[in-house]
Amino acid sequence: MRTNEAPNAPSEADAEQRPLLPVRGSAVHSGLAAMRLWPIERLYYCDDCSEVRCPRCVVEEPAGYHCPNCLFDVPTASVRSEKNRCARNCFQCPLCTHVLSVVEGDGLGRDGESVGFLLSCSVCFWDSRAIDWVFEKATGISAQVERLKASETSSKEYANLLDYWRSVQRAASHRPAARLSAAASSAAFKHRLAGTGLHASAATTVDTVPPYKAACYANDDHARVAQQMALDDARSLPFSADRQNRSGEPQRVRLHMKLSRRCRVCHHILIKPESKAQATRFKIQLMAANFLPSVTVPIALASPRSRVPALDPIPAFPLRVGSTVPCVIRLANPLYTEMDVTVAAASDDDVTVDVLAPQFTLPPFAELWEYDEEEDEDSTAAGRSGDSRRGIVHRHGNRVAIRLDLTPHAQVDCLTIPLHITCSHVDDMPDMDAEDAASSSRRIVTNSFWTYISLGAVQQSSK
């Protein structure tokens, strides 16, 4: 069953003036219908607005961060400082991206020294000796990696460049506004960094930006940096393999986050998971399947030993053009209160649908029916004759099966019938203004939605 929900969340006044229209014909299987039709398992229900919300009608926000490997909960304040990576011993193999393990080294290293602890891959057998990463202890691997990188040339040059621009910023803060704008100009930076004989403009004097002295790189590196700064489009920058994974170094595992979802209209919480990484429960979980009746089509005959009458499933006979075929759909009430249901069929060029039971009542859900208790045959026999005349095929627990008569008019690969379902129930809301805390106010909640049922291919009538 697929339910139609508006992609944009309109106001209550607009919802009354613009009712939802069905998706007709072959448009059900088009890309546009995929943006409007959702399975009921993916729909949410806002009990504050009393409206169904699709995934496009909700707002997502992070509810917690954790490492998918060690399941360590990361505080929100540490996510940015750790660059959205795990700050513990979780690293990915640079060859096969498998999670690396910390093992104790055996034997001697390249310089003849005893090997301490290594990062090793149990899949491709790569270890950190390939990039000269040897650790003193088995804990705090990320901190030890940062100390190893601090001694690299690029890290030293980056720290020197930061100190240079901080000194320029401090000097520019004590100068007039005209000199400040000149100090921040890219022309002055190119003139000093590239070391070329460019002539300074009238607005940029020689003493605006002090000369930059490299800490580790040579002059050819300065020329390469100046050439890249002169690029107008970053997409024309040549790609190198070490930009993606520098020197084949293992990367820290990326953090995952749990998401909570809110209604886009009233900002009411619809989904609120537990913040702990090990927890799989939800603090709040308002799914549409817990508030709207489910619609299913029986696909098998009843057991001979069961007292439930046999229902004719739709695959038992083919659909042919011009032939009227009965179909049975079953609706189930998920609520603990009685629900009034109205089923209407939309006119279509491909098929004519006649609903024999347009209005009926769904009994409330009860846990006792989960044990499939047998119904009293004497008490239900009298009601079955009346239900059959009204188009109701079977009642059991909180489920009611009704009959539809289908008359296809055209040969199609997949016949899909749209049904408009309106359900209403009485909701007991606690009255917070009343002096008695046990008092409550009763309101009638009504929901309307379109559901689409696919019944297979329609064949030409046999003559």
Q: What is the pLDDT of residues 396-423, one digit of tens each?
A: 888 999 988 888 888 888 888 889 999 9
- Average pLDDT over the chain reads 75
| pTM, entire model | 0.64
pLDDT of residue 12: 44
Would you say residue 333 has pLDDT above 60?
yes
pLDDT of residue 271: 94
pLDDT of residue 234: 63
Which uninterrupted H or E stretch holds 259?
A: strand 256-263
Is the separation of the CB atoms in 366 and 397 below 8 Å? yes
Q: Which amino acid is at 101?
A: S
Q: What is the pLDDT of residues 87-112, one digit of tens each?
A: 888 999 998 889 999 988 775 555 55
Would you say residue 273 has pLDDT above 90?
yes
Q: What is the pLDDT of residues 345-403, one digit of tens each?
A: 887 778 888 999 999 999 999 876 655 555 544 444 445 555 666 788 888 888 999 98
pLDDT of residue 152: 66
pLDDT of residue 58: 93
Bridge partners, 450 (sequence order): 4, 420
Count of residues for the chain? 463
Q: Rounded distance, CA 19 to CA 35, Å?
A: 18
- Which of the pair, 148 or 262, is modelled with greater confidence? 262
* Distance between start and end Cα atoms, the chain: 34
Bridge partners, 90 (sequence order): none
pLDDT band at 47; cut points 50, 70, 90: confident
Q: Rounded distance, CA 340 to CA 331, Å?
A: 12
pLDDT of residue 204: 43
pLDDT of residue 359: 92
* CB atoms inside a 10 Å sphere around CB 134: 20
